[in-house]
Amino acid sequence: MKIGVLGTGMVGTALATRLAAAGHEVRMGAREATNESATKWASGRKNASNGTFEDAARFGEIVVNATGGTVSLEVLKQAGAKNLAGKVLIDVANPLDFSKGYPRLSVCNDDSLGEQIQRAYPEARVVKALNTLNADLMLDPNGLGTTDHALFMAGDDAAAKSTVRELLQSFGWKQIHDVGGISGARGMEMMLIGWLGAMKAVGNARFNWKVVTPA
Ligand SMILES: NC(=O)c1ccc[n+]([C@@H]2O[C@H](COP(=O)([O-])OP(=O)(O)OC[C@H]3O[C@@H](n4cnc5c(N)ncnc54)[C@H](OP(=O)(O)O)[C@@H]3O)[C@@H](O)[C@H]2O)c1
């Protein structure tokens, strides 16, 4: 499948690397077509290319938003509404704001970044997913030595969620909890404040959420 990954940070790089290694054709997008990280990532790599956010969105049958939550709407504007229309848009971003010296969310409670994106791009089929765990584990559930841990997804388009579920299952994910429509992104994004607290307790980022129900 052709996948456009918007973002050159650790998430964009981790996702693009695993997607390309699994045989998907991946184009990584940045503000500039000459972006150093993206160019280095694509150089000599099978199934890999890079370009602007617009190039990557146009290329992808699926588009992944792996950019900072406070700049995602600007990134998607650069990607272009026509390049997102009708496509599954996996939103991995968290609207984290560290400007006050502690982690808070720039949008929360009665709205979320996932919903803001869906409202701004009504023709995109937004699925919030993968935002609740560390980049290295997103497409490597076995990285924890077990697949008995949880992912969540939210979105208004059932077919888009099925596509995302199948993609995630192809990487070994077993526990994928559908929390409902895109307003479910509120809870998924708020989990990040808890995740940051848990990281302090664990001492590193290699952990994940687990949902336990009665046996
Ligand atoms: N780190 C994790 O393990 C983790 C886990 C779950 C979710 N997340 C979420 O995943 C997202 C990506 O995180 P990250 O650390 O990989 O990347 P990041 O540093 O948050 O974002 C990198 C991307 O943002 C773009 N960008 C920065 N400022 C911009 C601006 N003013 N206008 C337009 N684009 C701008 C950059 O463009 P250029 O390429 O042009 O520089 C780059 O592609 C975040 O929302 C984060 O909260 C992270």
- Reported as a single tens digit per residue, the pLDDT across 98-157 is 999 999 999 999 999 999 999 999 999 999 999 999 999 999 999 999 999 999 999 999
Query: What average pLDDT score do residues 6-27 get?
Result: 98
pLDDT at res. 117: 99
> Could you tell me the distance, in angstroms and rounded to a whole number, from the CA of residue 177 to the centre of ligand 1?
25
- Model confidence at 14, pLDDT cuts 50, 70, 90, reads very high
How far is 130 from 138, CA to CA, in rounded Å? 6
Q: What is the pLDDT of residues 66-89, one digit of tens each?
A: 999 999 999 999 999 999 999 999
- Outline where DSSP puts E strands in 1-115: 2-6, 25-30, 48-52, 62-65, 88-91, 96-97, 104-105
pLDDT at res. 189: 98
Which residue's alpha carbon is nearest to atom 35 within ligand 1? Answer: 71
- The helix (run of H) or strand (run of E) holding residue 41 is helix 36-42
Residue found under tokens 């509120």: 186
Query: What average pLDDT score do residues 33-45 get?
Result: 98
- Of ligand 1's listed atoms, the one at least distance from the Cα of 78 is 33
The share of the chain scoring above pLDDT 70, in percent, equals: 100
Q: Is 10 in the pocket of ligand 1 (CB under 6 A)?
A: yes
Among 5, 13, 31, name the best residue to mutate to test ligand 1's pocket (greatest count of ligand atoms within 8 A of Cβ): 31
Query: What average pLDDT score do residues 43-56 get?
Result: 98
**Cα distances (Å, whole numbers) of residue 151 to 4, 7, 21, 26, 63:** 22, 21, 22, 23, 19
Does the reported pTM lie above 0.95? yes
Positive or negative torsion for Cα 166, 60, 69, 117 = negative
pLDDT at res. 18: 98
**Cα distances (Å, whole numbers) of residue 14 to 31, 37, 95, 100, 213:** 19, 12, 19, 29, 31
Which residue's alpha carbon is nearest to atom 7 within ligand 1? Answer: 131
pLDDT at res. 198: 97
How far is 25 from 4, CA to CA, in rounded Å? 8
Q: Is 158 helix (H, G, I), strand (E, B) or coil?
A: helix
> Could you tell me the distance, in angstroms and rounded to a whole number, from the CA of residue 71 to the centre of ligand 1?
8
Structure tokens at 32: 């500039």
Query: What average pLDDT score do residues 30-50 get?
Result: 98
How far is 39 from 49, CA to CA, in rounded Å? 8
Say which residues have a Cβ less than 8 Å from residue 82's Cβ, sequence separation at least 6: none
Q: Is 131 in the pocket of ligand 1 (CB under 6 A)?
A: yes
